[in-house]
Structure 1
């Protein structure tokens, strides 16, 4: 009755199912691993002390910035230079602007430093002159998916839509660190900008998307197997009916 499984058409169907089911299981397992990694990162982040409770270390010891070093207090020395307004940023539920000043570090690239937050359209406080040593929380460069970021195109001179080396490369002549810090204590009576959680280190929407994709891939695998059994059963029933003479043989 099941000789039809050896026909060329069914060889193609069987090969497709035999490849598709393991692929779906692999993708579902990969998405589950991604979710479990985010859970582990979230647990580690909860156990880690707050930035204010950790000792600050020289910036060079924390670069390049990654999940392990992002959120760590860092110190850097140098001279403040060009300053930018980063518009439409929210702190404590209020809309305003970050005050970002580039710090020319001793013997290295410039470091973007968010010195604080001011209400919209308030003048930017001048940066301290001369050699300074700053202490802030290390943050990775922003990208277009980061909250608050918008396109830098069309902004007035002196404004920056995204804090990143890529957005600064054409605005300053110096090499720029692919990271930035937010001061733990804001300058000039500004409001300190709280550090943000590193992407992929918490149970955010993307983490639960991974869990949802896990279920989808396993459902695809089960549906593929179910449909294969349905097709086999239907073909077997048609073959049996032809053998019993209940339906005409199309080859006759």
Structure 2
């Protein structure tokens, strides 16, 4: 009844199944590993964030350039506040407001963007407290330059005067006539009664959509394994039923002839003599 398994058609089906199953298992295991790596990175970032809050602040020069090892660490810098900007569309506790961003001119001449705090509502220069005069020392958490779409940063251009959508040197270089550090500092405590801005996690360290996409792909690849096995058994059962019906004469004439031809081909296949055997 199962002589049809020796036909070329079924040889192709069997080879496909033998190759597809380990490939799907490998891809599912790889996606699961990616998800586990993201979970571990998230846990490491949370542990590092807690450790950063306990560390003493270090001079800014020791923590530059900003990377995943230094982002979030507490730093200190000294200088004079200069130009002040508002960063709109920033959410805190499900409320929309804006950051008050003031550039700190350091002794080296470059400016450090300092997020002094958050205020609710639409950005209004009259609501933003003026920065302290004279030389000041700021202490806060070091942040990497933002990219559009990150932490609420807006890719929109053409902001009103005195506003910016992204906190980065690339966006600020056109607003001030001096060099700007490609990093920023969020103060430990909000200045002049403003709310302090929480420290954002480094990129690719959270359990974000990409992490759960990896988990979803894992389920899909393992589901493919089950689908391939299910379809193989289904085809096998259907072919066996056709072969049995052909033996009992229950098939229409055309299907019976086709099934008989396939069976005959399978019987002849192993009986072929190798070339030159008659010699």
TM range (shorter): 0.7 to 0.9
Contact kept, 8 Å, 2:140 with 2:187, in 1: the verdict is yes
Distance apart, 1:32 and its partner CA:
1.7
Match of 2:145 in 1: 141
Secondary structure of the corresponding residue to residue 234 of structure 2 = helix
Distance apart, 1:67 and its partner CA:
3.4
Contact kept, 8 Å, 1:38 with 1:207, in 2: the verdict is yes
Deviation digits for residues 146-203 of structure 1, max 9, x if unmatched?
A: 3433332242122112223443354445554443221112333332212123344344
After TM superposition, the score normalised by the length of structure 1 is 0.78
Q: What is the count of residue pairs matched by the alignment?
A: 251
Gaps of 5+ in 1: none
| More helix as a share of residues | 2
Calculate the aligned-residue CA RMSD, in Å. 3.3
Match of 2:96 in 1: 95
More displaced 10-residue stretch of structure 1: 180-189 or 20-29: 20-29
Select the structure of larger CA radius of gyration. 2
Deviation digits for residues 18-75 of structure 1, max 9, x if unmatched?
A: 4443343233223222322233234334544364422112334334434332221122
**1:148-227 correspondence runs (5 A):** 148-172=152-176, 174=178, 176-204=180-208, 206-227=210-231
Match of 2:276 in 1: none
Secondary structure of the corresponding residue to residue 26 of structure 1 = helix
Match of 1:250 in 2: 258
- Cα 1:191–1:152 change in 2 (3 A) is same
Gaps of 5+ in 2: 262-279
After TM superposition, the score normalised by the length of structure 2 is 0.72
Cα distance in 2, alignment partners of residues 165 and 227 from structure 1 = 57
Secondary structure of the corresponding residue to residue 39 of structure 1 = helix
Contact kept, 8 Å, 1:152 with 1:167, in 2: the verdict is no
Contact kept, 8 Å, 1:67 with 1:201, in 2: the verdict is no
